[in-house]
């Protein structure tokens, strides 16, 4: 099934909320690019339906989410996403997202969430829903979990976004950095090798020079000037039920927490090379995507709620009917006025759907008043219909066989879950260390 | 394994954070009561280690959580909890808690969390940790999930708490009520039976009398004065891809959301009987627990961080040494001064550990200056040691066989998970309705 994915070297994650049928704005704003990426053998792509995200604002009436999920996957497939080339899945079928979200929530500062521009904007502008909820505030943390649960060690992870979404990815990077620091800070084993005993003593002295924990160290480990083999250490020497090495690691982590990683490494000076952060989760990178301009029928941003969109399943009749009344260059009032295609939504659409010849015909005809807007729109509609026909045909295929859509969802979600579970195994070990602890317990001498 | 649980009629859920070994304060404040409840055949008890909760404040250094989890389960067992009579489990081994937490977070108003007294108090008073995190704010939502994931339809659910914890359970009740309202609001099927057609028409008219959604209804369903069998309904009649019945349900839910359930039911008048809320999750009840007073060695609240506690594994020597310097009635300065046992911590301890004879001896001896404090403490220590011996012996047994402790955790967590999964199946269906949707898709006529 995923046989073609092995050679892929970078991962891409993106998703949409299940709000209903997709329109051509979604296609040119995202799907077109998703299809391009699935066909690039260097990328392994994960595309999902963010059904839990739908609840952050639509918790009061969730009755449409399941049907909308089916609609949106149908549109994914109609647009050309191929389950053989990418992983299409449903967020809530990979419950590991919720667990990672919970763990990330512990390290996410409230202020980071409160300062997200879209949060403040929506809280102020959305009046028909009460968005003063804990879940809505945590949206960026859930989004971070959705992305970085597809972390793989040593594999770059990308989120294809437009300029306006860059700050969200940046926030994800910061949350991951903080998580990695708290859970992946490491005192490297090389520091306890015999040959580095000089560095070990100097590092201990530097740890001991700071605050109450430093004093603790000074009274136990640091005052001893002899090398202790951590494997054979006599715990009673320290009067604490941890080995000197555990103590050193804990002290180093605490000091780094207190003064920050950079200050810590600076203080360690030459010994800094023995400390560092493990990459438990991969910081996601921005994959800036240039998308063409595709205004709605009325010239505003295309949106289902404005009623100014053409869906991917729109009929020929409706396309003709809707484009006939499309907004054009407002300065061209009469048929005899010359127009400016650069400010005309119809011309923006021509650029996406029409042939170079038609494009030239439209621009010249508009500027010289050689053609009228009605003529120009009809021609554009011809090309739009030509473009949409294969998409719509694929859509009808899946509409008539919704079981196949469910199979795509189920199969993709299973594949996504395998990857998510690998990441969570690594995350759980970094947070709680049960594998290590169980090994300790199991190899315990006084065992039954 | 759980064979004794079938006849139990009420559920009890409680947990502790893994902060290390437990002391006698934990025993008399909680464990004693937990043991009593496990032995009562009318209760099915779930006792857990809240390891995720530990992260809400200790996210910066999680290295002790695993060992502390082992310690605390060892103490549970030492105190008399019996895995044959109750379910002992580790929170993070039942990942469904995280999923329910996420779903509850969607309906939890931010203000409810911000106003929790202990939240404000800790944000102000805890200075050695940065508690301004998303996870710490969400503590009560996680706590709610921990409890109500053990909901079972028709089974009362209780949380044994002291007076100071009542407001937390009340908050859980409110979150559950809100969740049940949004996800369990129901227009009863009886409303669409032929015999209730009069009620149906009146209910429609009442729905249609309000706002824009009302107008929608008025233009479709409510204006039709004939009975439509929802099974054979001709969708084209309505120009919308939902049946009239779906529309009525949706309208009713929306109106109830908008004006509140009580106002809604009032408006429905005689028709109110056809609407209501399903109990998806059970509202937990408070089980008020009277616990004896057990001050610390210095008279303050007993707490590990004050160094004024006696742990359940304390040695005889340490018990004698520590109780010897225990605080007594501060007014009794000299051996010859009579004292007041009612204000003496040592006397509080006598009440818990000593025989009636000793109790009488201590009270009289103190009031008459017949005995000295040293003598009184030594006698109390004798009885404390007598009390603690079997507990400590059980503890040593498990300390020497930590594998058995891990088995208890693993086995209990598996049993807890079975129950949690049942609840989550119900919750997911209430939120997304995929079972219903899949059935619809599968029985679709035009299927491949």
Q: Which tens digit of pLDDT belongs to each residue from B128-142?
A: 889 999 999 999 999
| Neighbouring C-beta atoms of residue A181, cutoff 10 Å | 19
| Neighbouring C-beta atoms of residue A335, cutoff 10 Å | 11
Report the C-alpha gap between B94 and B205 in whole angstroms: 47
Residues 219-258 of B with CB under 8 A from A: 249-250, 253-254, 257
Mean pLDDT of the region A205-221: 55
What would the DSSP string read from start to end of A152-188? BTTB-EEEEE-GGGHHHHHHHHHHHHHHHHHHHEEE-
Across A1-5, A102-106, A228-232, the highest mean pLDDT is recorded for A102-106
Residues 133-162 of B with CB under 8 A from A: 133-138, 141-142
Interface confidence, given as ipTM, is 0.89
Helix (H, G, I), strand (E, B) or coil at B290: coil
Q: How far is B181 from chain A (nearest CA, A)?
A: 9
Per mean pLDDT, which range of A213-217, A237-241, A299-303, B411-415 is the poorest? A237-241
Per residue in A51-67, pLDDT (tens digit) is: 999 999 999 889 899 99
Paired residues of A159 in beta bridges: A286
What length does chain B have?
448
**Residue A354: pLDDT band by 50, 70, 90 thresholds?**
very high
Dihedral sign from CA coordinates of A209, A215, A219, A221: negative
What local confidence, expressed as pLDDT, does residue B271 receive?
93
For the record, the structure tokens of A144 come out as: 């971070």
CB A429 within 8 A of CB B48: no
What local confidence, expressed as pLDDT, does residue A216 receive?
43
| Subunit contact B447:A134, Cβ cutoff 8 A | no
CA-based nearest residue in chain A for residue B128: A258
Helix (H, G, I), strand (E, B) or coil at B225: coil
Is A23 a residue whose pLDDT tops 80?
A: yes
User: Which of B105, B113, B171, B401 should be substituted to probe chain A, the one whose Cβ sees the most A Cβ atoms within 10 Å?
Assistant: B105
**Residue A238: pLDDT band by 50, 70, 90 thresholds?**
very low
Per residue in A267-296, pLDDT (tens digit) is: 999 999 999 888 999 999 999 988 899 999
Question: Is A305 part of the contact surface with chain B (CB cutoff 8 Å)?
Answer: no
Question: Is B55 part of the contact surface with chain A (CB cutoff 8 Å)?
Answer: yes
| Subunit contact A403:B448, Cβ cutoff 8 A | yes
Mean pLDDT over each residue of chain B, to the nearest integer: 89
Choose the closest CB to A182 out of B59, B253, B444. Answer: B59
Is B262 a residue whose pLDDT tops 70?
A: yes
Q: How distant, in Å, are the alpha carbons of A131, B57, B319 from that of A105? A: 19, 11, 42
Residues 56-115 of A with CB under 8 A from B: 56, 59-63, 65-67, 70, 92, 95-96, 98-99, 101-103, 105-111, 113
- Better-predicted residue by pLDDT, A243 or A20: A20
Is A241 a residue whose pLDDT tops 70?
A: no
Choose the closest CB to A446 out of B67, B141, B400. Answer: B400
Per residue in B38-77, pLDDT (tens digit) is: 999 999 999 999 999 999 999 988 989 999 999 999 999 9
Is B255 a residue whose pLDDT tops 60?
A: yes
First to last CA, chain B: 46
Which residue carries 């990459």 as its tokens? A279
Contact list in A for residue B428 (CB cut-off 8 A) is 92
Q: Residues of chain A with pLDDT > 90: what percent?
A: 70
User: Which of A101, A135, A211 should be substituted to probe chain B, the one whose Cβ sees the most B Cβ atoms within 10 Å?
Assistant: A135
Report the C-alpha gap between A329 and A403 in whole angstroms: 45
What local confidence, expressed as pLDDT, does residue A290 receive?
87
Helix (H, G, I), strand (E, B) or coil at A232: coil
Q: How far is B437 from chain A (nearest CA, A)?
A: 7
Choose the closest CB to A403 out of B96, B433, B447. Answer: B447
Per residue in A122-152, pLDDT (tens digit) is: 998 888 889 999 999 999 999 999 999 999 9
Is A100 a residue whose pLDDT tops 70?
A: yes
Backbone angles phi, psi at A277, to 5 degrees: -110, 135
What local confidence, expressed as pLDDT, does residue A444 receive?
67
**Residue A201: pLDDT band by 50, 70, 90 thresholds?**
confident
| Subunit contact A447:B70, Cβ cutoff 8 A | no
Report the C-alpha gap between B267 and B255 in whole angstroms: 10
What local confidence, expressed as pLDDT, does residue A230 receive?
42
Mean pLDDT of the region B3-29: 86
Question: Is A401 part of the contact surface with chain B (CB cutoff 8 Å)?
Answer: yes
What local confidence, expressed as pLDDT, does residue B353 receive?
97
**At B329, which helix (H) or strand (E)?**
none
Question: Is B373 part of the contact surface with chain A (CB cutoff 8 Å)?
Answer: no
What would the DSSP string read from start to end of A32-51? HHHHHHHTSTTEEEEEEE-H
| Subunit contact A102:B446, Cβ cutoff 8 A | no
Contact list in B for residue A442 (CB cut-off 8 A) is 403
Report the C-alpha gap between B355 and B361 in whole angstroms: 10
Q: How far is B382 from chain A (nearest CA, A)?
A: 28
What local confidence, expressed as pLDDT, does residue A186 receive?
87
What local confidence, expressed as pLDDT, does residue A315 receive?
96
Per mean pLDDT, which range of B86-95, B172-181, B208-217, B366-375 is the poorest? B208-217
User: Which of A50, A102, A139, A437 should be substituted to probe chain B, the one whose Cβ sees the most B Cβ atoms within 10 Å?
Assistant: A102
**Residue A31: pLDDT band by 50, 70, 90 thresholds?**
very high
**Residue A157: pLDDT band by 50, 70, 90 thresholds?**
very high
CB B61 within 8 A of CB A253: yes
Report the C-alpha gap between A56 and B16 in whole angstroms: 30
What local confidence, expressed as pLDDT, does residue A206 receive?
83
Mean pLDDT of the region B191-207: 83
Contact list in B for residue A183 (CB cut-off 8 A) is 62
Q: How far is B345 from chain A (nearest CA, A)?
A: 30
Is A244 a residue whose pLDDT tops 80?
A: no
For the record, the structure tokens of B51 come out as: 């390891």
Per mean pLDDT, which range of A373-377, A430-434, B164-168 is the poorest? B164-168
For the record, the structure tokens of A354 come out as: 């029409």
CB A88 within 8 A of CB A412: yes
| Subunit contact A134:B130, Cβ cutoff 8 A | no
Choose the closest CB to A253 out of B51, B61, B107. Answer: B61
Residues 29-48 of B with CB under 8 A from A: none
For the record, the structure tokens of A87 come out as: 């992983």
Report the C-alpha gap between B213 and B216 in whole angstroms: 5
Mean pLDDT of the region A299-312: 93
Report the C-alpha gap between A217 and A187 in whole angstroms: 16
CA atoms within 13 A on the CB side of B95: 14
Choose the closest CB to B402 out of A102, A403, A441. Answer: A441
Mean pLDDT of the region A314-340: 95
Paired residues of A385 in beta bridges: none
CA B205 to chain centre: 43
Per residue in B142-166, pLDDT (tens digit) is: 999 999 999 998 899 999 998 888 9
Mean pLDDT of the region A101-113: 97
Q: How far is A315 from chain B (nearest CA, A)?
A: 16
What local confidence, expressed as pLDDT, does residue A210 receive?
58
Within B235-303, residue ranges assigned H as helices are 244-259, 261-268
Mean pLDDT over each residue of chain A, to the nearest integer: 89
**Residue B426: pLDDT band by 50, 70, 90 thresholds?**
very high
Contact list in B for residue A249 (CB cut-off 8 A) is 63
Question: Is A120 part of the contact surface with chain B (CB cutoff 8 Å)?
Answer: no
| Subunit contact B106:A142, Cβ cutoff 8 A | no
CA-based nearest residue in chain B for residue A405: B441
Contact list in B for residue A402 (CB cut-off 8 A) is 441, 444, 447
Mean pLDDT of the region B408-429: 98
Question: Is B119 part of the contact surface with chain A (CB cutoff 8 Å)?
Answer: no
| Subunit contact B135:A108, Cβ cutoff 8 A | yes
Question: Is A434 part of the contact surface with chain B (CB cutoff 8 Å)?
Answer: yes
- Better-predicted residue by pLDDT, B312 or B231: B312
Torsion-angle region of residue A369: left (phi > 0), alpha (psi -120 to 50) or beta?
left
- Better-predicted residue by pLDDT, B217 or B272: B272
């Amino acid at each position: 099934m995923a046989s073609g994915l092995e050679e892929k070297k970078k991962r891409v994650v993106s998703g949409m909320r299940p709000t209903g049928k997709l329109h051509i704005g979604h296609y040119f704003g995202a799907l077109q690019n998703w299809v391009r990426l699935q066909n690039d053998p260097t990328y392994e792509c994960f595309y999902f339906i963010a059904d839990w995200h739908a609840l952050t604002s639509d918790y009061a009436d969730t009755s449409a989410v399941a049907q909308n999920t089916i609609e949106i996957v149908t549109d994914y497939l109609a647009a050309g996403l191929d389950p053989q080339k990418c992983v299409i899945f449903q967020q809530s079928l990979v419950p590991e997202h919720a667990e990672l979200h919970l763990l990330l929530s512990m390290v996410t500062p409230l202020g980071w969430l409160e300062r997200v521009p879209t949060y403040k904007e929506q809280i102020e502008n959305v009046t028909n829903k009460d968005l003063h909820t804990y879940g809505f505030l945590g949206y960026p943390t859930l989004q971070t979990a959705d992305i970085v649960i597809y972390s793989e060690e040593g594999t770059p992870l990308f989120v294809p976004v437009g300029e306006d979404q860059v700050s969200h990815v940046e926030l994800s990077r910061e949350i991951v950095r903080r998580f990695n620091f708290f859970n992946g800070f490491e005192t490297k084993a090389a520091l306890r090798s015999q040959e580095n005993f000089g560095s070990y003593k100097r590092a201990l002295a530097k740890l001991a020079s700071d605050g109450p924990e430093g004093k603790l160290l000074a009274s136990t480990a640091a005052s001893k000037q002899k090398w202790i083999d951590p494997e054979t250490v006599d715990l009673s020497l320290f009067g604490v039920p941890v080995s000197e090495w555990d103590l050193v690691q804990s002290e180093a982590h605490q000091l780094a927490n207190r003064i920050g990683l950079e200050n810590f490494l600076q203080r360690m000076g030459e010994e800094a090379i023995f400390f560092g952060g493990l990459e438990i989760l991969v910081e996601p990178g921005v994959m800036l995507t240039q998308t063409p301009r595709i205004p709605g029928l009325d010239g505003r941003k295309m949106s289902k709620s404005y009623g100014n969109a053409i869906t991917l399943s729109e009929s020929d009749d409706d396309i003709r009917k809707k484009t006939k009344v499309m907004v054009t260059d407002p300065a061209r009032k009469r048929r005899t006025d010359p127009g400016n295609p650069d400010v005309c939504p119809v011309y923006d659409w021509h650029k996406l759907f029409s042939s170079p010849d038609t494009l030239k015909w439209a621009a010249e005809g508009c500027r010289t008043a050689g053609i009228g807007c009605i003529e120009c729109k009809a021609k554009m509609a011809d090309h739009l219909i030509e473009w949409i026909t294969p998409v719509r045909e694929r859509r009808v295929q899946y509409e008539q066989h919704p079981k196949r859509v469910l199979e795509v969802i189920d199969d993709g979600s299973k594949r996504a879950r395998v990857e998510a579970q690998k990441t969570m195994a690594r995350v759980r070990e970094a947070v709680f260390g049960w594998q290590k602890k169980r090994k300790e317990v199991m190899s315990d001498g006084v065992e039954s």
